[in-house]
């Protein structure tokens, strides 16, 4: 046993002589890829590799003993299986030097707390090390991140991130459970793949989708290595038989190191590659129309040439061009909006607290949750960009995925419902002043929501909201939203909906036929009076729900109350969208419970309403001490109202 950074660490030493191949020539009592090759403290000299040896030192950061040793051994075997491919990518020669330190963490939360990085795998700059999560479903050992410190050890200069990460993806076991070409083919049809100049710009690459762009980089590396005529300045060798589609002149992995080290394309070179690159992506998309391997979902009909202009008029504007959607949810969705609270690693979506909070929701009879990743827009007149969170305490992809998996593990259906946050404004006021800005808005917004469509598809999320409460944008630009819905269907095969604001937006939206369900933020006032009777409150709820049921019948779509709730303040039924904050906020938890009770009663027997997601439930669990007048019913009388109703509905569904 040793200690790394104050954390107990088990250390496993792997030494592989270079002369006989990586992993060959091991001691007689050790079988490569099986078992553990010994133990030593970090300072033990036996863990040092000299110029004739290279390998790994494994550090297990698991003071709680959550990881079984067999899982650690599995990680070792996975890296061992990749050794030949990694060696080939480095030109057949592994750089001499010390072994790579492989740090294993039981969860992305533990990894984030130890390293301030919640990604499933990362290689810190300036260190000959890799940190991996071994959390089920978020397994960093499936990703060949060990390539990066080896490239650095070889003395390579600053490289193109698209090439580095592309090679990592190509050498990995898979990418989000599939081959990278499957994701890129779908994304290309959806107009989500950026121009080559953006792909090859390191800053743009690193700020873009960490799900899509590494896969795009993989296809780019593969393309550049396969076609020897693309970059005549690099050496080539015959790797294919004469008459093959690529001809005789093609590069293999042996040339990757040269490509990585030497290729720094000029703007003119990038411009010359753009057209053949798009043709390559077109061929990849066409290949995706053929029958897929088992486990790959159906691929919708492609958009005509979307990459050159994702908003081009060639995209159908009236015919969604798709098979019928999945339809209504199989049962009434007894849901909550699950909110990332605290904005720290240990209490956000990716935390053990979030897991416990979801377990509590399940005990209430909840069978569905909406997971809410946020982006930020500085002003409602700006067309973007819409950043995807990566900070370890934010709603980063790993944290969002943790929440999805934890909900699914408890038998809950998941809706992914991305939101836009604006300081001093709200999403319903987003409006552009020029056509150019509108075009830019839908380009940037499409990339952002497309990222979450990819995440939803990869994680088997049942429902995705195309947007939430963007009332000015949707009412003014319905055609653009229809086209966007069609594009997103190229990458997402689940139920696609939109969450409209109550009132004018939900009642007047012109593209309900382009989505599978009508989502609504249900904040209709139930009464304008301070002291209404039960009958008056019920009449207000019935009137609003009846209007929505008629809307659903007219558009032949199920209606989901994607948000509904009341704050714990006096008369919350008058302006349900408001909550009081600050030290002077008035608290009335009984008024909240009364409003909840009225709405649950009014929903009884309404076949056109297929679910409700209460606003909201925090990832940290009950927060009444932090914001007692807020919306959450956690730890308040309204929680018991929901629990009794949900459990009764569950019993009725089981015993009709």
Query: Is 259 in the same domain as 340?
Result: no
Tokens in use for 83? 């050794």
Q: What is the pLDDT of residues 312-322, one digit of tens each?
A: 222 222 233 33
Query: Is 380 in the same domain as 426?
Result: yes
Q: At what angle do helices 397-409 and 352-363 cross, to 10 degrees?
A: 30
* 13 sits in which H/E element: strand 7-17
Indicate the pLDDT class of residue 155, thresholds 50, 70 and 90.
Answer: low
User: Does the pLDDT value for residue 454 go beyond 50?
Assistant: yes
How confident is the model at residue 236, as a pLDDT? Answer: 55
Query: Is 136 in the same domain as 190?
Result: no
How confident is the model at residue 295, as a pLDDT? Answer: 35
Query: For residue 328, is it within any domain?
Result: no
Query: Is 418 in the same domain as 553?
Result: yes
Query: For residue 354, is it within any domain?
Result: yes
How many domains, the chain? 3
The answer to whether 100 and 129 are in contact (CB under 8 A) is: yes
Query: For residue 327, is it within any domain?
Result: no
Query: Is 412 in the same domain as 271?
Result: no
The answer to whether 621 and 577 are in contact (CB under 8 A) is: no
Query: For residue 325, is it within any domain?
Result: no
Query: Is 18 in the same domain as 160?
Result: no
How confident is the model at residue 622, as a pLDDT? Answer: 67
Q: What is the pLDDT of residues 513-547, one digit of tens each?
A: 999 999 999 999 999 999 999 999 999 999 999 99
Between 188 and 150, name the one with better pLDDT: 188
Instruction: Give the bridge partners for 498, in sequence order.
Output: 518
Last residue of a domain, one of 123, 154, 185: 154
Tell me the mean pLDDT in the region 356-362: 97
CB count in 10 Å sphere of residue 604: 9
Q: Residue 258 burial by CB count (10 A; 0-12/13-18/19+): exposed, middle or buried?
A: middle
How confident is the model at residue 331, as a pLDDT? Answer: 86
User: Does the pLDDT value for residue 414 go beyond 60?
Assistant: yes
Among 35, 42, 38, which residue's Cα sits nearest to residue 15?
38
Query: Is 435 in the same domain as 527?
Result: yes
Tell me the mean pLDDT in the region 368-375: 98
Q: What is the pLDDT of residues 37-66, one digit of tens each?
A: 233 333 332 223 222 234 888 999 998 888
Prior bond to 385 cis, omega within 30? yes
Query: For residue 330, is it within any domain?
Result: no
**Both ends of the chain: CA-CA distance in Å?**
58
Query: For residue 53, is it within any domain?
Result: yes
Tell me the mean pLDDT in the region 452-456: 98
Q: What is the CATH number of the domain that holds 487?
A: 3.20.20.80
Query: Is 149 in the same domain as 188?
Result: no
Query: Is 234 in the same domain as 180?
Result: yes
Query: For residue 244, is it within any domain?
Result: yes
How confident is the model at residue 322, as a pLDDT? Answer: 34
Tokens in use for 142? 């499936």
Tell me the mean pLDDT in the region 373-398: 96
Q: What is the pLDDT of residues 285-297, one digit of tens each?
A: 998 775 433 333 3
As a three-state string, the secondary structure of 29-62 is CCCCCCCCCCECCCCCHHHCCCCCEEEEEEEEEC
Query: For residue 529, is it within any domain?
Result: yes
**Greatest CA separation found in the chain?**
87
Query: Is 396 in the same domain as 468?
Result: yes
Task: Average the pLDDT over each of 226-230, 455-459, 644-648 and give the range with the smallest value.
Answer: 226-230
Residues ≥6 apart with Cβ < 8 Å to 192: 209, 212, 310, 446, 447, 450, 454, 487, 491
| Cα separation values, 605 from 82, 214, 519, 545, Å | 57, 48, 19, 11
> What is the residue range of 31's domain?
2-154
Tell me the mean pLDDT in the region 155-178: 88
Query: Is 117 in the same domain as 187?
Result: no
CA atoms within 13 A on the CB side of 615: 19
Task: Average the pLDDT over each of 298-307, 410-419, 598-607 and give the range with the smallest value.
Answer: 298-307
Q: What is the pLDDT of residues 605-635, one digit of tens each?
A: 999 999 999 999 999 976 555 678 999 999 9
Indicate the pLDDT class of residue 271, thresholds 50, 70 and 90.
Answer: very high
Last residue of a domain, one of 105, 127, 154: 154
Among 75, 76, 103, 117, which residue's Cα sits nearest to residue 7?
103
Q: At what angle do helices 397-409 and 108-115 cross, to 10 degrees?
A: 150
Tell me the average pLDDT of the chain: 83
Last residue of a domain, one of 119, 154, 189: 154
Query: Is 148 in the same domain as 160?
Result: no
């Amino acid at each position: 046993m040793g200690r790394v950074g104050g954390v107990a660490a088990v250390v496993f030493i792997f030494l592989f002589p270079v002369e006989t191949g990586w992993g060959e020539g091991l001691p007689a009592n050790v079988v490569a890829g099986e078992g553990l090759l010994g133990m030593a403290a970090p300072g033990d000299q036996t863990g040092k590799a000299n110029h004739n040896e290279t390998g790994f030192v494994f550090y297990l950061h698991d003071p709680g003993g959550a990881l079984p040793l067999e899982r650690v051994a599995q990680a070792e075997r996975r890296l061992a299986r990749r050794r030949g491919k990694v060696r080939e990518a480095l030109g057949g020669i592994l750089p001499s030097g010390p072994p790579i330190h492989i740090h294993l963490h039981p969860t992305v939360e533990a990894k984030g707390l130890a390293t301030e990085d919640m990604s499933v795998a990362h290689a810190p700059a300036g260190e000959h090390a890799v940190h991996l999560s071994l959390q089920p479903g978020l397994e960093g050992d499936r990703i060949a991140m060990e390539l990066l410190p080896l490239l650095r050890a070889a003395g390579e200069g600053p490289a193109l991130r698209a090439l580095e990460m592309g090679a990592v993806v190509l050498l990995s076991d898979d990418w989000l459970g599939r081959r990278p070409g499957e994701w890129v083919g779908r994304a290309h049809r959806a107009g989500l793949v950026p121009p080559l100049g953006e792909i090859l710009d390191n800053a743009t690459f690193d700020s873009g989708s960490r799900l899509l762009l590494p896969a795009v980089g993989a296809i780019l590396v593969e393309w550049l290595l396969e076609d020897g005529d693309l970059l005549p300045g690099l050496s080539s060798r015959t790797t294919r038989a004469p008459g093959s589609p690529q001809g005789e002149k093609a590069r293999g992995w042996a040339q990757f190191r040269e490509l990585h080290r030497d290729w720094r394309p000029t703007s003119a070179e990038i411009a010359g590659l753009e057209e053949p690159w798009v043709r390559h992506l077109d061929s990849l998309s066409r290949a995706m129309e053929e029958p897929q391997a088992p486990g790959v979902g159906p691929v919708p009909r492609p958009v005509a040439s979307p990459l050159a202009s994702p908003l081009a008029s060639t995209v159908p504007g009236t015919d969604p061009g798709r098979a019928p959607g999945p339809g209504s949810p199989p049962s009434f969705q007894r849901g909550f909006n699950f909110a990332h609270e605290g904005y720290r690693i240990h209490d956000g979506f990716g935390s053990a607290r979030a897991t416990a909070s979801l377990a509590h929701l399940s005990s209430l009879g909840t069978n569905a949750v909406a997971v809410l990743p946020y982006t930020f827009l500085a002003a409602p007149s700006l067309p973007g960009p819409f950043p995807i969170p990566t900070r370890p305490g934010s709603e980063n992809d790993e944290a969002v995925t943790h929440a999805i998996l934890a909900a699914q593990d408890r038998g809950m259906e998941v809706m992914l419902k991305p939101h836009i946050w604006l300081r001093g404004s709200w999403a319903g006021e987003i409006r552009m002043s020029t056509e150019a800005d509108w075009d830019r808005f839908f380009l940037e917004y499409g990339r952002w929501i497309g990222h979450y469509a990819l995440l939803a598809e990869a994680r088997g999320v049942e429902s995705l909201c195309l947007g939430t409460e963007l009332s000015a944008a949707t009412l003014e630009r319905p055609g653009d939203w229809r086209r966007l819905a069609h594009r997103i269907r190229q990458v997402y095969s689940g139920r696609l909906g939109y969450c409209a604001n109550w009132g004018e937006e939900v009642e007047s939206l012109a593209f309900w036929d382009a989505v599978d369900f009508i989502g609504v933020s249900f904040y209709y006032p139930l009464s304008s009076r301070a002291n209404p009777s039960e009958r008056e409150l019920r009449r207000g709820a019935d009137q609003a729900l009846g209007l929505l049921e008629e809307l659903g019948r007219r558009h032949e779509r199920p209606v989901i109350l994607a948000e509904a709730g009341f704050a714990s303040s006096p008369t919350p039924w008058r302006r349900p969208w408001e909550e009081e904050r600050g030290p002077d906020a008035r608290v009335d938890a009984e008024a909240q419970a009364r409003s909840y009770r009225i709405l649950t009663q009014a929903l009884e027997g309404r076949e056109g309403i297929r679910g409700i997601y209460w606003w909201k439930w925090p990832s940290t669990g009950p927060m009444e001490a932090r914001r007692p007048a807020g919306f959450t019913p956690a730890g308040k009388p309204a929680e018991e109202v929901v629990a009794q109703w949900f459990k009764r509905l569950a019993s009725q569904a089981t015993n009709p």
